[in-house]
Amino acid sequence: MRTAAISRNTKETQIKVRLNLDGTGRCAVNTGIGFFDHMLEQIARHGLMDLEAQVEGDLYVDGHHTVEDAGIVFGQALKEALGDKKGIVRYGQACIPLDESLSRVVLDLSGRPGLYFSCDFAAPMIGALDSQLVREFFQAVSNHAGMTLHIDNLKGENAHHQAESIFKAFARALRAAVATDARAADVIPSTKGAL
Ligand SMILES: [Mn+2]
Ligand 1 centroid to 127 CA: how many Å? 11
C-alpha 98 to ligand 1 mean position (Å): 9
* Distance (Å) from CA 185 to ligand 1 centroid: 36
173 sits in the region (left: phi over 0; alpha: psi -120 to 50; else beta) called alpha
- Whole-number Å distance, alpha carbon 97 to ligand 1 midpoint, is 12
92-115 tens-digit pLDDT: 999 999 999 999 999 999 999 999
What separation in Å is there between the alpha carbon of 163 and the centre of ligand 1? Answer: 9
Instruction: Please answer whether residues 90 and 98 qualify as being in contact, where contact means their C-beta atoms are separated by less than 8 angstroms.
Output: no
**Phi, psi for 97 (deg, rounded to 5):** -95, 155
User: Interhelix angle for 132-145 vs 159-178, to 10°?
Assistant: 10
* 39 torsion bin: left (phi>0), alpha (psi -120 to 50), beta (else): alpha
pLDDT above 90 for 185: no
User: What is the band of 146 on the pLDDT scale with cuts at 50, 70, 90?
Assistant: very high
The helix (H) or strand (E) run that includes residue 88 is none
- In degrees and rounded to multiples of 5, residue 89 shows phi and psi of -70, -35
For 35-71, the pLDDT digits (tens) are: 999 999 999 999 999 999 999 999 999 999 999 999 9
Cα(107) to centroid(ligand 1), Å? 23
CA distance 100 to 37: 22
Task: Give the environment of ion ligand 1: residues with CB less than 5 A.
Answer: 164
- Cα dist from 158 to 101, 121, 183, whole Å: 7, 8, 42
Query: With contact defined as beta carbons under 8 Å apart, do 114 and 48 qualify?
Result: no
Task: pLDDT band for 1, please (50, 70, 90 cuts).
Answer: confident
Give pLDDT, residue 24: 96
Contact 66, 167 (CB under 8 A): no
The rounded Å distance from CA 42 to ligand 1 centre is 9
Burial class (CB in 10 A: 0-12, 13-18, 19+), 101: buried
Tell me how far apart the alpha carbons of residues 2 and 172 are, in angstroms, rounded to a whole number: 18
Q: In the predicted model, is pLDDT for residue 139 greater than 90?
A: yes
Structure confidence by residue, pLDDT tens digits, 73-84: 999 999 999 999
For residue 186, is pLDDT > 90?
no
Distance from residue 162's CA to the centre of ligand 1 (Å):
10
